[in-house]
Amino acid sequence: MAAVFPAHDVLHAYAADLAAEKLMDVARPFARALVWGDRGRHLEARLPPGKIAQLVHAGPDEDAEASPWLGGDFDLVVSLLDLHAANDPVGALVQAGAALKPDGLFLGVMFGAETLNELRAALADAEIEAGGLSPRVFPFADVRDAGALLQRAGFALPVADADRLTIRYGDPLRLLADLRGAGESNVLTARRRSFLARGTLMRALALYAERHGGPDGRVPATFAFVTLTGWRPHESQPQPLKPGSARMRLEDALKSRPS
């Protein structure tokens, strides 16, 4: 897998671009950062010198669900295309929070709900025609769901943003090769233990091309990205007002506005 990854890592490179852009919006530098999932080592190359003084890459077998980095030693934790594959995403986020110092930043980029919607629909219909249906693609979260995950995990000031990338393929088989090469094959524990029959796969790819092929014969593959940011709580952060603490009633505020 490692040998072929560089030829298929466009998705990971794009996720690193999104993460770097978000980090550049944060005025502070970071003394020590932990990164999960950046297998192509793209993130550091996209940041100016001094933005992160020390960057630690988690090992390939260390994911956010079973993290050994729980001492609260980092002021930044980054997860690149790692969370969407977690069986317990809230638990993974809790682990990320435990690795942060108070007022430390969590930044995650994960696949969103519309990812591979063309492929998912074609696979589902082909399997229904063949007499059964099995989940073949990750059940991705939308922006609202992702923001709720941050809140449930105890992060302060949670924000979730959406982005989309469309890649056009001359052959849908190349899409499958890119997914395998990038390590994004389906690892759903709920999937059938039997392999997808070749005839069913060929039917799915035919449906894919039939429904989505352009005049040039190329087919689109949609990848939706959700970028998450949240802070480990600290007393210095802005706090919401307590209920009943407002000094002006809404009715009076509206009356005071010029017409």
Q: pLDDT tens digits, residue range 197-214?
A: 788 889 989 999 999 999
pLDDT at 92: 87
31 pLDDT more than 80: yes
pLDDT > 90: what percent of the chain?
Answer: 44
Contact 219, 212 (CB under 8 A): yes
What radius of gyration do the chain's Cα atoms show?
A: 21
Q: Is residue 13 situated within a structural domain?
A: yes
Q: Is residue 254 situated within a structural domain?
A: no
> Which residue reads 């069986």 in tokens?
87
84 pLDDT more than 50: yes
Q: Which residue has the higher pLDDT, 56 or 190?
A: 56
Question: How far is the C-alpha of 6 from the C-alpha of 40, rounded, in Å?
Answer: 7
Question: How far is the C-alpha of 29 from the C-alpha of 45, rounded, in Å?
Answer: 15
Q: Is residue 259 situated within a structural domain?
A: no
Q: Is residue 253 situated within a structural domain?
A: no
110: β partners: 226
Q: Is residue 255 situated within a structural domain?
A: no
Q: Which residue has the higher pLDDT, 217 or 30?
A: 30
pLDDT > 70: what percent of the chain?
Answer: 76
Question: How far is the C-alpha of 155 from the C-alpha of 106, rounded, in Å?
Answer: 8
Q: Is residue 247 situated within a structural domain?
A: no
Tally of domains within the chain? 1
Q: Residue 157: CA atoms inside 13 Å, Cβ hemisphere, count?
A: 16
Q: Is residue 48 situated within a structural domain?
A: yes
The dihedrals phi and psi of 78, each to the nearest 5 degrees, come to: -120, 135
Contact 205, 175 (CB under 8 A): no
Nearest to 61 by CA among 78, 91, 37, 77: 37
Question: What confidence tier does 65 reach under pLDDT thresholds 50, 70, 90?
Answer: low
191 pLDDT more than 90: no
Q: Is residue 112 situated within a structural domain?
A: yes
CATH for 159: 3.40.50.150
Range of the domain at 159: 5-234
